[in-house]
Structures are given as structure tokens and as C-alpha cells.
Amino acid sequence: MAIEKEKKTCGQVMTEWKEFVWNPRTHEFMGRTGSSWALILLFYLVFYGFLTAMFTLTMWVMLQTMDAHLPKYQDRLSIPGMMIRPKTDALDITYNITNTETWDSYVKMLNNFLEPYNDSIQLANNDNCTPGRYNEQPDNNGVLNYPKRACRFNRTLLKECSGLNDTTFGYREGRPCILIKMNRVINFFPGANHTINVTCAAKKEEDVLKLGDMAMYPDNGNIDLMYFPYYGKKVHVNYTQPIVAVKFLNLTRDTDHNVECRINAANIVTADDDRDKFAGRVSFKIRIDKE
């Protein structure tokens, strides 16, 4: 045992270590000779080279199976999401009427968003479709019906919230407009041939009075069926997403208002599911400070 247990001195350890790094007797660097290193590196070069090649190949093969225009699966999108404009990080629209800078960005955002909805652009690019009907454009027995036409959604439809008459979208006089849109889902027929509309309300019953009246544009917050289905960007050129605007007419000042807007359609179940807060509904906070 005594032979086994001898403690190595620091110097010995250093010498051993040095010898491991470069052994002059056997010409070994880190325990391998030059040719040995070369061989093993070559092997791993070939090995990993092969792996990379194989990875690339299989990746390419897989990419071939994908359609250029359509996502392969969209079976989990039965409830389209909702979103508002102007969009902030926490969906929190707070501003001070007298302080122009606080709402200027909102107005800019809305203006930018509504740019493609200008009547002139819509007139130039899109068709005037029959309201109340789905605008189906099926392919004929494998012959692609391409590109598909989109329906007009004129900015003027939003009336008070179009930003045409009132360029500040009512933010100046404390009656702000919020735009609500529904996510595009490819080949989705919302409402199942019945009208669909968006309604907004205070999140809690007791806040309804404080929130005051709201005006919806188009009327009732209706979304016409002619804007559906959506066929995907590449196919459905110039598609214009329908939007609904809500104008708060009589907001109590200096108070947080939690508002929730929902889509009401026959085939969209907007259950109060806490996990997905944007499925078929959208909640936001709005607050106007007096001074």
C-alpha cells in the first residue's frame, strides 16, 4: 500500500503535465503522435462532414414536401385572434388631452395603418363584391385560379373613425377611436353564412356607466362575409382585412377603463379561456387624463 499511496510533489505533477503536452521521447503531443492526430482528425472530418451532408440532404428533402403558398397544418386556428390599433406593448392607451405629444403617436399609427384603406387605392386594386356572401374563388380542377381578387374595404366605411374628417381620430376632444381587427386565417369561413359583428363592453358590469357610450363603425360593428375566405398572401394579392372601429363618446376622465371586445360569430366559440387572452377577443386599457 505504501507504494501506492505516495503523494506526488507539485514539481512531479508539473513534469508529468508537461510530458503529457509534449513528450519528446515518443514525440507525442497531448498523448498522440502527429500521424495519430492526423488520422483521428481526418476520421472526424469525414464523420462530421457526412453528418452535415446528410442533415442538409434530409432538410432539403423535407423542404420539398412543403407548399410554397400554404402552411401545411392549421388545425389549431378555429378561433381567430383579435388585435387593436393603435397597438402598444401592454395594450394600454393612456394619454393627456392637453399634452399633444402623448397622443400624437397613436394618431400617427392609425394613419399609417389606414393608408392602404384609402378609397383611391381600394378602387384601383380591388373589386366591388356582393355584400353578405362569401367571396369564394375556387380553383377549377387543378387549374389555379390565380391571383385571386380581393374585396374593397373603403376607409370611408369607418366614418367618424376614418381620420378623414377628424384627422386626430377624436383624440383631441377626448373621444378616441380604437380599431379592432381579426387575424387572417387561411381558408376560414367565419360565421358560417350568418352575419358576424364585434361588440365591446366594460370588463366588469359596474364599470359600464363610467365607460359611457360607444359608437361602432361600420354600424353594429358588423364585418361583412364578402371579405372571407382568405387564401394566403401569394395567392390573394392586395387582400384588405376588414376592420371595426369603436369610438368612446363619453369616457370618465382620470379613470382606468378595461374594455373587452369580442367577435360574435356562429362558429367561433369565445370561451373565457385564461390561457389564450386573444382568442376571439381582445382586452385593452384606456385612460384619459384631464390635465
Partner 1 sequence: MSPPCTILLQDNYDMFSVEMEKQRDGAMDVKIKKKNKGDKKKEKLESMKKEMDVHLAVTMFSCLELVGRRCLSRCASLALSLHAQGLSNTMASEILFRDGPNELKPPKGTPEYVKFARQLAGGLQCLMWVAAAICLIAFGIQCGQGDLTSADNLYLAVALIAVVVVTGCFGYYQEFKSTNIIASFKNLVPQQATVIREGDKSPINANQLVVGDLVEIKGGDRVPADIRIITAQGCKVDNSSLTGESEPQTRAPECTHESPLETRNIAFFSTMCLEGTATGIIINTGDRTIIGRIATLASGVENEKTPIAIEIEHFVDIIAGLAIFFGATFFVVAMVIGYPFLKAMVFFMAIVVAYVPEGLLATVTVCLSLTAKRLARKNCVVKNLEAVETLGSTSVICSDKTGTLTQNRMTVSHLWFDNQIHTADTTEDQSGQTFDQSSETWRALCKVVSLCNRAFFKSGQETVPVPRRIVIGDASETALLKFSEITLGNVMEYRERYTKACEVPFNSTNKFQVSRQRVGSNRYLLVMKGAPERILERCSTIMIKGQELPLDEQWKEAFQTAYMDLGGLGERVLGFCHLYLSPSEFPRGYHFDCDEMNFPTSGLCFAGLISMIDPPRATVPDAVMKCRTAGIRVIMVTGDHPITAKAIAASVGIISEGSETVEDIATRLRIPVEQVNKRPWVVLCMRSLLQKGQPFPACANVRRACTAERQPFSKLAVTLPSAILDKGGTCAELPWWPFLCLCSSGVFLFVCLFLNQEEEKSQRQITFGQRLYQEYTCYTVFFISIEMCQIADVLIRKTRRLSTFQQGFFRNKVLVTAIVFQLCLGCFLCYCPGMPNIFNFMPIRFQWWLVPLPYGLLIFVYDEIRKLGIRRHPGSWWDKELYY
When asked if residue 40 is in the footprint of partner 1 (CB under 8 A), the reply is yes
When asked if residue 60 is in the footprint of partner 1 (CB under 8 A), the reply is no
When asked if residue 73 is in the footprint of partner 1 (CB under 8 A), the reply is yes
Which range, of 41-49, 90-98, 151-159, 262-270, touches partner 1 by CB under 8 A? 41-49
Which range, of 75-83, 160-168, 193-201, 283-291, touches partner 1 by CB under 8 A? 75-83
Dihedral sign from CA coordinates of 161, 162, 163, 164 = negative
Which range, of 72-80, 152-160, 208-216, 219-227, touches partner 1 by CB under 8 A? 72-80
Which range, of 117-125, 167-175, 181-189, 211-219, touches partner 1 by CB under 8 A? 181-189
Minimum CB separation of residue 185 from partner 1 in Å reads 6
Among 49, 71, 131, 132, binds partner 1 (CB under 8 A): 71
Total of chain residues touching partner 1, rule CB under 8 A: 41
Which range, of 67-75, 86-94, 159-167, 206-214, touches partner 1 by CB under 8 A? 67-75
When asked if residue 95 is in the footprint of partner 1 (CB under 8 A), the reply is no
Question: How would you list the strands of the sheet with 196-202, edge to edge?
Answer: 92-96, 281-289, 257-264, 196-202, 222-223
Among 173, 275, 290, 291, binds partner 1 (CB under 8 A): 275
Among 210, 232, 252, 283, binds partner 1 (CB under 8 A): 232
Decide whether 149 or 277 has the Cβ nearer to partner 1: 277
Which chain residues interact with partner 1 by CB under 8 A?
1, 3-4, 39-40, 43, 47-48, 51, 54-55, 58-59, 62-63, 66, 68-74, 76-77, 80-81, 83, 183-186, 232-234, 239, 275-279
